[in-house]
Structure 1
């Protein structure tokens, strides 16, 4: 029973991180923290950009929670693990698949193609505003329509 609770905490944390990430991306990164996030909307000449400081911050929070909850494997541990898993998903989806920080893989998966398309639309603007689609794993249906139509 406790294993189910731990899995539920991790899954809840993943869902919470997606909602939280959408919120801070829209209202903080494209708001008062634009001076940092701007680097992500500009051409990058090296591997790192100033925006990566946010990943370091969330990684630090995750490590802190895991460390604090390690002795009893309490809720802090499982939340920290969920944040860490979200970070891994973020790296794979965002940095590797969407922005090609590593050699990208090819896919015909309609979900992945829709997410990539929504993110590319988000980056269409190199300015703070206007912008749309602030999520990582979720996007508006309109970005998936082209890929979900079956051939006659």
Structure 2
């Protein structure tokens, strides 16, 4: 049986490898729809936070408002997102995913999502709760690290 340190090292390495493989999936899907990695990341972020604003996207990503506008322009021109005035505050622009293109991404991600489903089916509900908790903590640690790194640049 492996020691705790060896298991922790194996998990750390596995997370790095997963990040790399998922980046490869993202790149391959992006190539099929003529989007780069940054545009794909933004599309994912918008789909999770929609409706959102360009300002919120700039804050979340740490990119300048001008850079965010350029990315949103490319996504909107490609038919991936739409920008609309907020009916409650006409000064505010809301960004949302354009659902007409969603099936295209669903088809491209379908194989990966099916594989993920098959993997998750192997675990009990209790094990899935542990995995979900672990991933939430990893996500939160990443968010905290981003905040710390940004603060150190200020």
**TM-score above 0.5, yes or no:** no
* Relative contact order, higher structure (CA 8 A, sep 6+): 1
Larger fraction in helix: 2
Give the TM-score range, shorter chain. Answer: 0.3 to 0.5
Higher Cα radius of gyration: 2
Larger fraction in strand: 2
